Chains A and B, each alone.
Chain A
Amino acid sequence: MSPSPDQVLLQLEGVAKSYVMGAVTVPALKPSTFAVRSGEFLMVLGPSGSGKTTLLNLVGGIDTPTAGRLLFRGEDLAQMADAELTSYRRYRVGFVFQFFNLVPTLTALENVQLVADLVDEPLDALETLDTVGLGDRANHFPSELSGGEQQRVAIARAMVKRPALLLADEPTGNLDFETGIRVLTVLTDLSRQSGTTTIVVTHNSVLAGIADRVLRMRSGEIVEVEEQPHPISPDEVRW
Chain B
Amino acid sequence: MSKLHLKLLRDLRSSPFMFAGIVLLLLVGIALFVASYSLYLNLEQSYATSYRRLRLADFTVPVQSAPAQVVTRLRRLPGVREVEGRTIREVEIRLPTQRGRKVTGRILSLPESGWPRVNSLKLAAGAAPGTGLQRELLLEAGFAEYHGYRPGDTLNLVVQDDPLGFRIVGIVQSPEYIFVVRGREAPYPSESTFAVVWIREGVVDELFGTAGAVNDIGVTMAPGGNRRSAVRLAERLLEPYGAETAVPQEEQPSVELLRLDLLGLQNLAIFFPLLFLTIASLSAYNTLGRMVHEQQGQIGFLRAVGFSKATVGLHYLLYAVAMGVLGGGLGAGLGYYLGILITRFYTTQIQVPYYDVSPRWIVLVVGFALAVVVAVAASLSPALSAARMTPAEAISTQGPTGGRAPLIESWLPVLRRLPLQDRLPLRNFLRNPRRSFATVAGVASAAMLLLVATGLLDSSVAAIEFYFKSSVHYDILATYLEPQPQFSLERLRRSPGVRRVEPLLAMPARLTKSDQQQTILVYGIEPDSRLFLLYDQRERPVAVPPDGLLIPESTARKLNLWEGALVRLGLPEQSVPATADFSPAVTPPVPFLPVPEAWQPRYRELLFAPGRASIKLDLDRLIRVSGVSYQPVGITAYASIDQLREWYRAPLELPPKAINALALTADAANLSAIEQRLHDLDGIASVSVISTIRREIDTALEQAQVFFNIMLAFSMALAGIIIFNATLMNVIERTREISTLRTLGLSVGAAVRMIWVENLLAYVVGLLVGVPVGTWLAGLFILAYESESFNMRLVIFPHTYVITVLSILATMALAQLPGTRFIRRLDLAKATKAMG
Nearest A-chain residue to B835, judged by Cβ? A99
Give 1 or 0 for each of A99-116: 1 = CB within 8 Å of chain B CB: 101111111001001110
Distance between A53 CB and nearest chain B CB, rounded to angstroms = 7
Please state if B829 and A53 are interface contacts (CB–CB under 8 Å): yes
The residues of A that contact B741 with a CB separation of less than 8 Å are 103, 114
User: A58-114: which residues lie under 8 A (CB-CB) from chain B?
Assistant: 60, 62-63, 82-83, 86-87, 89-91, 93, 95, 97-99, 101-107, 110, 113-114
Residues of B close to A46: CB separation below 8 A: none
Name the B residues within 8 Å of A95 (CB-CB): 743-744, 832
Listed residue (B404, B421, B427, B745) with the most chain A CB atoms within 10 angstroms of its CB: B745
Interface-located stretch among A33-41, A126-134, A138-146: A138-146
Q: Are the C-beta atoms of B833 and A105 separated by less than 8 Å?
A: no
The answer to whether the Cβ of B184 comes within 8 Å of any Cβ in the partner chain is: no
The stretch of B30-38, B59-67, B154-162, B394-402 in contact with A is: B394-402
**Smallest CB-CB separation from B744: which chain A residue?**
A115
Q: Could you tell me if A101 and B420 are in contact, using CB atoms closer than 8 angstroms? A: no
Per-residue contact bits, chain B 398-412, to A (CB 8 Å; 1 contact, 0 not):
011111110000000
CB distance B400 to A57 under 8 Å? Answer: no
Would you call B420 and A142 a contact (CB within 8 A)? no
Pair A97/B832 contact, Cβ less than 8 Å: yes
> In the bound complex, do residue B427 and residue A63 qualify as a contact, i.e. CB atoms below 8 Å apart?
no
Complex partner residue of A114 from B399, B421, B742, B824, CB under 8 angstroms: B421
What range describes how many residues of B lie at the interface? 20 to 34
User: How far is the CB of A160 from the nearest CB of chain B, in Å?
Assistant: 10
- Whether B403 and A104, one on each chain, are in contact in the complex, defined by CB atoms closer than 8 angstroms, is yes
Assess whether B748 is interfacial by the CB under 8 Å rule.
yes
- CB-based contact A110/B742 at 8 Å: no
CB closest residue in chain A, given B405 = A107
Q: Give the distance in Å from the alpha carbon of A115 to the alpha carbon of B829 in the complex.
A: 19
Q: Which residue of B lies closest to A174 (CB)?
A: B397
Q: Does B278 contact A (CB under 8 A)?
A: no
CB distance from B357 to the nearest CB of A (A): 54
Q: Report Cα–Cα, A225/B353, bound state, in Å.
A: 97
Does B829 lie within 8 Å of A105, measured CB to CB?
A: no
- Picked from A86, A105, A169, the residue with its CB within 8 Å of the CB of B427 is A105
**A137, chain B: closest CB distance, angstroms:** 12
From residue 724 to 752 of chain B, which have CB atoms closer than 8 A to chain A? 736-737, 740-748
* Residue of B427, B428, B744, B747 with highest tally of chain A CB at under 10 A: B744
Nearest neighbor of A91 in chain B, beta-carbon distance: B745
Is there a chain B Cβ closer than 8 Å to A216's Cβ?
Answer: no
Q: Does the CB pair B427–A106 fall under 8 Å?
A: yes
Beta-carbon contacts under 8 Å, B388-445 to A? 397, 399-405, 419-421, 424, 427-428, 430-431
Interchain CA distance A106-B420 in the complex, whole Å: 9
Chain A residues whose C-beta falls within 8 Å of the C-beta of B100 in the assembled complex: none
Given A57-B829, A97-B832, A117-B420; A142-B400 close (CB under 8 Å): yes
A152 within 8 A of B: no
Inter-subunit contact B427/A143 (CB<8 Å): no
- Nearest-CB residue, chain A, relative to B834: A99
- In angstroms, Cα B465 to Cα A122, docked, is 66
State the CA gap A129–B431 with chains docked (Å).
24
Contact of A86 among B748, B835, B836 (CB under 8 A): B748
Contact B431–A105 (Cβ < 8 Å): yes
- In the complex, the chain B residue whose C-beta lies closest to that of A157 is B744
Q: Pick the residue among B420, B736, B748 that contacts A113 (CB under 8 A).
A: B420
Question: What is the chain A residue whose CB lies nearest that of B824?
Answer: A82
B422 CB to closest chain A CB, in angstroms?
10
On chain A, the residues within 8 Å of B757 by CB distance are none
Inter-chain contact B742/A86, CB cutoff 8 Å: yes
Question: With A106-B420, A142-B400, A143-B402 given, is the CB distance from A101 to B745 under 8 Å?
Answer: no
Known: A101-B740, A105-B427, A169-B833. A89 touches B745 (CB 8 A): yes
Q: Are A89 and B743 in contact (CB under 8 A)?
A: yes
In the complex, B654 has a CB within 8 A of chain A: no
How distant is the Cα of A90 from the Cα of B747 in the complex, in angstroms?
9
Chain A contact residue count (CB 8 A cutoff): 43
Q: Quick check: is B828 within 8 A (CB to CB) of the other chain?
A: yes
Q: Which of A86, A105, A117 contacts B428 (CB 8 A)?
A: A105
Question: Is the beta-carbon distance between A117 and B421 smaller than 8 angstroms?
Answer: yes
Cα distance A169–B831 when bound, in Å?
Answer: 13
* A198, B740: Cα distance in complex, Å: 19
Most buried by B among A53, A118, A140: A118
Given the complex of chains A and B, what is the CA–CA distance between A150 and B403 in angstroms?
13
Residues on A with beta carbons closer than 8 Å to the beta carbon of B829: 53-54, 57, 62-63
A39 to B502 alpha-carbon distance, docked (Å): 102
Contact of B743 among A60, A91, A106, A140 (CB under 8 A): A60
- Give the residue name and chain of the B residue nearest to A62 (CB): B828
Tell me the B783-835 residues at the A interface (CB within 8 Å): 824, 828-829, 832-833, 835
Q: Provide the residues of chain A in CB contact with B828, threshold 8 Å.
A: 57, 62-63
Given A113-B420, A117-B421, A144 contacting B747 (CB threshold 8 A): no
Q: Is the CB of B748 within 8 A of A103?
A: no
Give Cα A106–Cα B833 distance, bound, in whole angstroms: 20
Q: Report the bound CA distance from A155 to B740 in whole Å.
A: 14
- Do residues A102 and B746 form an inter-chain contact, with CB atoms below 8 A? no
A208 CB → nearest B CB, Å: 22
Contact yes or no, B836 A102, CB < 8 A: no
Q: What is the distance, in angstroms, from B398's C-beta to the closest C-beta of chain A?
A: 10
- Asked if residues A141 and B420 are in contact (CB atoms below 8 Å), the reply is no
Interchain CB contact (< 8 A) of A99 among B420, B424, B428, B836: B836
Partner of A142, one of B403, B832, B835: B403
**Chain B residue at minimal CB-CB distance from A86:** B747
Interface string of A41-58 (1 = CB under 8 A from B): 000000000000110010
Q: What CA separation (Å) do A141 and B403 show in the bound complex?
A: 5
- Report the bound CA distance from A144 to B402 in whole Å: 10
Asked if residues A143 and B747 are in contact (CB atoms below 8 Å), the reply is: no
Query: Which residues from B are CB-within-8-Å of A86?
Result: 742, 745-748
Say whether A101 contacts B399, CB under 8 Å: no
Residue in A87, A114, A143 whose beta carbon sits within 8 Å of that of B400 in the complex: A143
Q: Is the CB of A104 within 8 A of B400?
A: yes
| Whole-angstrom CA separation of A118 from B741 in the bound complex | 11
> Which of A95, A140, A158 gathers most chain B CB within 10 Å?
A95
Alpha-carbon separation in the docked complex, A113 to B416 (Å): 13
Nearest chain-A residue to B747 (Cβ)?
A: A86
Q: How far is the CB of A46 from chain B (nearest CB, A)?
A: 16
Return the chain B residue nearest A147 by Cβ. B399
Residues of B within 8 A of A143 (CB): 399-403
A60 to chain B, nearest CB (A): 7
Q: How far is the CA of A102 from the CA of B828 in the complex (A)?
A: 15
Q: What are the residues of chain B within 8 A of A117 when measuring CB–CB?
A: 419-421
In the bound complex, do residue B403 and residue A101 qualify as a contact, i.e. CB atoms below 8 Å apart?
no
Give the CA-CA distance A82 to B427 in the complex, in Å.
28
CB distance from B429 to the nearest CB of A (A): 9
Q: Which residues of A contact B404 (CB under 8 A)?
A: 141
Complex interface: chain A residues within 8 A of B405 (CB): 107
In the assembly, what is the distance between CA of A158 and CA of B397, in Å?
23
Smallest distance from the beta carbon of B836 to chain A beta carbons, Å? Answer: 7
The smallest C-beta distance from B399 to any residue of chain A, in angstroms, reads 6
Check B420–A114 contact: CB distance below 8 A.
Answer: yes
| Residue ID in chain B nearest A163 by CB atoms | B745
In the bound complex, CA of A150 to CA of B836 (Å): 14
The answer to whether A90 touches B745 (Cβ under 8 A) is: yes
A-B contact pairs, 25 of them (CB 8 A): A57-B828, A57-B829, A62-B829, A82-B748, A86-B748, A90-B744, A90-B747, A97-B832, A99-B833, A99-B836, A103-B740, A104-B737, A105-B431, A106-B424, A110-B420, A113-B420, A114-B421, A114-B741, A115-B744, A117-B421, A141-B400, A142-B400, A143-B402, A158-B744, A174-B397
With A99-B835, A104-B431 given, name 19 new contacts (CB 8 A): A62-B829, A83-B747, A86-B742, A89-B744, A90-B746, A95-B744, A95-B832, A98-B833, A99-B833, A101-B737, A101-B832, A105-B402, A105-B431, A114-B424, A115-B745, A118-B744, A141-B402, A142-B399, A143-B399
